[in-house]
Amino acid sequence: MSKTTKMAGLFRPKKLDLSGFVNTRLIRDNNKRMAFEQTEPERQALRYMIRNTSLSGRVRAQAQLQLAQMHPYTRPTQIKNRCVASGTARSVFRDFRINRYQFRMQALAGELPGVRKASW
């Protein structure tokens, strides 16, 4: 556990590179995205070796171990879309990258171009 927290700092940029609404969880998610982006070639190489049946079993097993030992932040499944206006992780619209509540507030305020109240 202590190792993980220590390692997580590796992916954190020296200077905050986010603007707008900033949250601890939003920063953490951003770190995960950065970590995944940096290690993606290595990850893909290991995945390729694991699945390649023409390689020897030993090599493939080693590749599996190495992939499993990579930092959890480098996994793409760790990435979660978050609301850019409030940092919430639930019911975030992909179209606007905004939470449903923020969407309603901004739509009613007329801040989302073209979005209006519908009745049919």
Partner 1 sequence: MFSYTSRSLIGVSTSLRVPVPFRSLSSPTQPTPPEQEKTPVQDPTSTPAAAAPAEAAPVTPTPAATPDATPVATPAATPAATAPASIAPVAPMEAEQITEPKVKEWSERLGAFGEENRLPRSVQAIYLRPLRRKVEYGLPVCDLQLRSYSVRNVEFFTDFAIRAAYYLNLPVSGPVPLPRIVERWTVPRSNFVHKKSQENFERITLRRLVQIKDGNPQAVQAWLAFLRKHAFYGVGMKANVWEHDSLDAGKAMDASVAEVEEALRPELAQFGQRKDNSGPGTIFDTLNNERFAERKRL
Contact residues toward partner 1 (CB under 8 A) are: 7, 10, 38-39, 41-42, 45, 49, 59, 62, 66, 70-71, 93, 95, 100-101, 103-104, 107, 112-119
Question: What is the sign of the dihedral through the CA atoms of 39, 59, 49 and 1?
Answer: negative
Report the nearest approach of partner 1 to the CB of residue 115 (Å): 5
* Nearest CA-CA partner of 34 in 76, 84, 97: 76
Six-digit token pair at 99? 């939470």
- Whichever of 24 and 119 has its CB closer to partner 1, that residue is 119
Q: Alpha-carbon Rg of the chain, whole angstroms?
A: 20
Report how far residue 117's alpha carbon sits from residue 5's, in angstroms, rounded to the nearest whole number.
46
Report the nearest approach of partner 1 to the CB of residue 53 (Å): 15
Report the nearest approach of partner 1 to the CB of residue 11 (Å): 9
Report the nearest approach of partner 1 to the CB of residue 118 (Å): 3
- Whichever of 27 and 55 has its CB closer to partner 1, that residue is 55
Angle between helices 57-69 and 24-51 (to 10 degrees): 180
